[in-house]
Amino acid sequence: MKVVIVGGVAGGATAAARIRRLDEQAQVVVFERSGYISYANCGLPYYIGDVITDPEALTLQTPESFLARFQVDMRVYHEVMAIHPDKKTVSVKNLQTNEIFEETYDKLVLSPGAKPTQPRLPGVGLKKVFTLRTVEDTFRIKEYIRANRPRSAVLAGGGFIGLELAENLRELGIEVTIVQRPKQLMKPFDPDMAAFIHSEMRRHGVKLALGRTVEGFEERGGGVDVLLQDEAPLHADMVVLAIGVTPDTALAREAGLELGLKGSIVVNDRMETSVPDIYAVGDAVQVKHYVTGADAVISLAGPANKQGRIAADNICGGDSRYLGSQGSSVVKVFDMTAASTGVNETNAEMAGLAVDRVILSPMSHAGYYPGGRLMTMKVVFERETFRLLGAQIVGYEGVDKRIDVLSAAIHAGMKATQLKDLDLAYAPPYSSAKDPVNMAGFMVDNIAKGILDQWFLRDVPALPRDGSATLLDVRTSAEFAQGHMEGFQNIPVDELRGRLSELEPGKPVYVICQSGLRSYIACRILAGYGFKAYNFSGGFRFYDAVMNDYSLSQQATACGMDQ
C-alpha cells in the first residue's frame, strides 16, 4: 500500500507516523511545500519575542529524523499542484529545481492546513505588512525587527495569534495597537468575559482600536498607514495581519471534492472525503461541533492531531471515528490565562438553545495558603435539561486545569448539576476542598432545586427603580463607599437579620455583593423571612470590570483611539 500525504505539519505528520506504527510495509510519502515539517505553529510568536531563542526548537521533527525513525519519505519544498482521482496520481513540483512529476497513490491524505486570511485591500502586499503562519513567516518578521528596530506595530486581528504576538512585541519594547472590526478580542469568549482580557492588555500598554474597519495600507514616512473607515489612519513601523485563517483547499476544489463552510473540505466521521480513497484532516476540513452538532471549521492543533490519527487508523483497515470538535483552547495574556471550551452564551443563543449560566469568582487555591489569585468563571448550560454547554475562565494559576475538567465533563455528556459530584484532587497549594468546578455545580444545583434565583448584567437597565422593588447591596459600608450601583441601599449581610424592618415586605429584593457569595447568603436569609430575593450573578467585581471596559471603549470611540 502506498500512501501520499499532502502537508507535513500537525495532521499530516501525525498520520504518517501512525500509519508506520500500524503497517511496517506501507510506503508513505509526504509532500510539504515549506522547508519545515512537524513544526510548532503555536510557538511562533514566542520565538519572535525571544521567549524561545533556538530556532531549531520550533521544529519537532526533521525530514532526516522522520526517515530514520519511521521510514517515511518526507519531501520538503515540494508542492502538490493537482490531484487526479481518476488516475490516483498527484502532480508535484519540486520548488528547488522546478521539476514537475506525477506520483501515484493507493490512499491520499490531504492536510493542507489553512492560510492567513488575506483581505482584498490596497497595500496588502507591502513589504512592511506581514502575516504569521509558517516558520518562514516567523523568520521574516524576526529579521525585520532585528534589522529595523521598529518602535510601533499595528496588529490587524485580536484572536490567538494577535494576542500572543501583541504580548511578545510588547516584551521587545514595541508599541502595539490591535485593530479589528469586532468590538471585542477573542470571539470564543462572551463580551463580558472578554472585558477581563481587554483590561489585561491595556494594563500592559496594548492599545485597542476595536469596532474599526480596516480599508487598506499605505507607505508613508518610512512606515505604514493603516487606513480606517471614517477615521484617521493609524501609523506604525510595521503591520501584521492576524485576522484569521481560511482553509487552503484550492487543490480539493479543482479535484472535485465536496466543499463546505468557508470552502472547507467535507469529510465524514472517518475523515473520508466525497472521493474514494481520499482523506482530509486538520484546519482545512469541516467537522461537527461536539456540543451543537452544527457544521463548523475549528482550526486548532489538538483536533488536527486526532484527525490525522483517525485517518491513519482507517487507511490501515481500522474503524476509528471523529466525534466532533469542542473548541477547547487556552491562551496566555501577559500574566493572565484565558481558556474556553464548548459554546459560549452568545453562540448558544444564536444556535437556538435556551441557556442559563452561573458566574463566580473563586480562588485558585485555598485562601489561607499564600499566593492564591481570583479567577472568573462562566459556566453555560441548557435551561430545562441542565446539559453542560460550555465554560470560560479568565485568571491566573489553575485556569487550565479547571477548563480541562469542564471540557471532559462536556465530552462525557454530564449535566451542569453533576459538577458538584466530581471528586477532584485537593491540597492547599493547588485547590480548595470545594474546588471551583464543584462550586459551579453547587450553584447550578441550587438553581435546579429552586434555591437560587439570579439576575444578570443585561437586567441592569430594566431594574425596577420606581420603588416597586428593593435594591440591596450587602457588602461592608467601606466597600459600598468605594463604588456601587446607582439606587442601591447598603445593609451589610452580617447586619441583615437585625435590619429587616428597613425592607418593605412584599417587594422583591435584588441583591448584590462583591463576588456573589455574600449576596447568596443574604438571599437565603431573606427567603427565610418571606422575601422573594434575586442574586446578582458575578457580583460587583464582575459588574465593575465589564462596565469599566465598556466605558473605556466608548471613550476610545469618541476620541478615535483606546486609552
CB burial readout 2-25, b (16+ within 10 A) else e: ebbbbbbbbbbbbbbbbbbeebee
Closest CA to 10 of 287, 250, 308, 270: 308
Measured between alpha carbons, how far is 395 from 311 in angstroms, rounded to an integer?
A: 37
Parallel/antiparallel/unpaired status of strands 245-247 and 175-180: unpaired
For CA atoms 53, 54, 59, 61, give the dihedral sign.
Answer: negative
- The cell for 506 is 412584599
* 3-class SS of residue 13: helix
523 annotated active-site: no
The phi and psi torsions of 199 (rounded to 5 degrees) equal -60, -40
- How wide is the angle at C-alpha 47 spanned by C-alphas 185 and 336, nearest 5°? 40
What number of H helices and E strands is found in the chain? 14, 31
| Residues 158, 186 contacting (CB under 8 angstroms) | yes
Helices 10-22 and 301-315, axial angle in degrees (round to 10): 30
Measured between alpha carbons, how far is 109 from 272 in angstroms, rounded to an integer?
A: 9
In the numeric block, the cell 490516483 is attached to 88
Closest CA to 235 of 152, 156, 178: 152
- The cell for 139 is 523568520
C-alpha Rg value of the chain to the nearest Å: 27
Q: In Å, how far from its chain's centre is CA 286?
A: 18
Residue type, 457: L
Closest CA to 3 of 388, 312, 240, 331: 312
In the numeric block, the cell 513601523 is attached to 237
- Identified catalytic residue from 42, 316, 523, 559: 42
For CA atoms 370, 376, 380, 386, give the dihedral sign.
Answer: positive
Measured between alpha carbons, how far is 112 from 175 in angstroms, rounded to an integer?
A: 34
> What are the CB-based long-range contacts (under 8 Å, 24+) for 211-214?
211/181, 211/182, 211/183, 211/553, 211/557, 212/179, 212/180, 212/181, 213/181, 214/119, 214/121, 214/156, 214/179, 214/180, 214/181
- Give catalytic residue positions: 42
